[in-house]
Amino acid sequence: MTHDPQPPTQAAAGRSRRLSVHIERFPIAGRFTISRGAKTEAVVVVAEIRAGDAVGRGECVPYARYGETVEGVAAAIDAARPLIEAGIDRFALSAAMGAGAARNALDCALIDLEAKRAGRAAADLLGLGPLRPLVTAYTLSLGSPDEMATAAAAAAHRPVLKIKLGGEGDPERVRAVRAAAPSAWIIADANEAWSENTFAANMAACAEAGVMLIEQPLPAGDDALLGRVARPVPVCADESLHVAGQVAALAGRYDAVNIKLDKTGGLTEALLAAAEARRLGLDIMAGCMVGTSLAMAPALLLAQHATFVDLDGPLLLARDREPGLVYDGSTVSPPEPALWG
């Protein structure tokens, strides 16, 4: 009597997996400055999951604002080794690990591995359909009005500029950028730097300059004012939003949400957050930390149905990884399988 061979169980298949973790550094072109500080390099953590000849990769950017360190995130990824090598899938991973950079690297690596083993595009596996090129915002660092005007003039050919603000003196910064880039769409990102005392003047300056969106003007957890005042310029939650379960509480105070894979803990949760935002009538920004093309590639899947796209990380680097995404000015093409997905 013979038996047809049975497909291996998930655990059996998973025993052939091997996880490796790498810390990599990429220089930033100049200095990247926001209200909380400045940096001159992007330090990223990469998870690689190998199964036979297939390798899935995911990149994350640990963020001190959320209590993360590079060493701590690398250790958290390594601590998940027994789960990864035992064959856990990305849905079970979401239940086993908290949201954040470490889970993002593993989630994206698992999606990439699944696509590589299936010989199909990740977008196809996720039911997202063919990907198209997208126009990304281009970020200008926080500086004096004169410094930001100089940077804006150099980038005035780009269709969308995102300007970092810092609280005091922001009306002058906004006016200087608008004068230097009169045709660009402008997104203003305060990174929690405004207060109830500065909000009215800063909002008025943004409205006068035709700013299209203001990101996280007030500190997360101290933003009740947004539900009580007029918002002549739409306001987008960034630091206030991490996972899908938080979206509903933001409706009424915010008009949009900035979904970043390093906050949600991967593309799997990011797509859930986007679906919840759409259900509630909130616009979506697909955002990023300063990372390489490997971090941007899965976010491009999220960005396909976003109102605002801010995936300019590689444009801010002096050197990107190879192969990387192809940028034609501010237009970024979908990733090739050799990079991700």
Match 């990247």 to its residue by tokens: 32
257 to 114, 216, 302: CA distances (angstroms) = 29, 9, 13
Active site includes 260? Answer: yes
Residue 213, helix vs strand vs coil? strand
The DSSP output letter for 266 is S
> If we measure between CA atoms, which residue out of 150, 126, 171, 185 comes closest to residue 310?
185
Q: Is 283 annotated as belonging to a binding site? A: no
Burial class, 150, CB count within 10 angstroms (exposed 0-12 / middle 13-18 / buried 19+): middle
Burial class, 307, CB count within 10 angstroms (exposed 0-12 / middle 13-18 / buried 19+): middle
Match 């949400």 to its residue by tokens: 257
30 to 70, 140, 163, 176, 301: CA distances (angstroms) = 22, 11, 16, 21, 29
Catalytic position from the list 39, 116, 162, 260: 260
d(CA 85, CA 14): 5
Structure tokens at 339: 């990079």
Contact status, residue 65 vs residue 83, Cβ threshold 8 Å:
no
Q: Is 124 annotated as belonging to a binding site? A: no
Active site includes 39? Answer: no
Q: Which helix (H) or strand (E) holds 140?
A: strand 138-140
> What is the pairing mode between strands 213-215 and 235-237?
parallel
Contact status, residue 318 vs residue 27, Cβ threshold 8 Å:
yes
CA atoms within 13 A on the CB side of 308: 31
Strands (E), 63-136: 134-135
> If we measure between CA atoms, which residue out of 127, 117, 140, 90 comes closest to residue 267?
90
Catalytic position from the list 39, 116, 162, 164: 164
d(CA 187, CA 201): 17
Binding residues: 189, 215, 238
Binding residues for Mg(2+): 189, 215, 238
Active-site positions read 164, 260
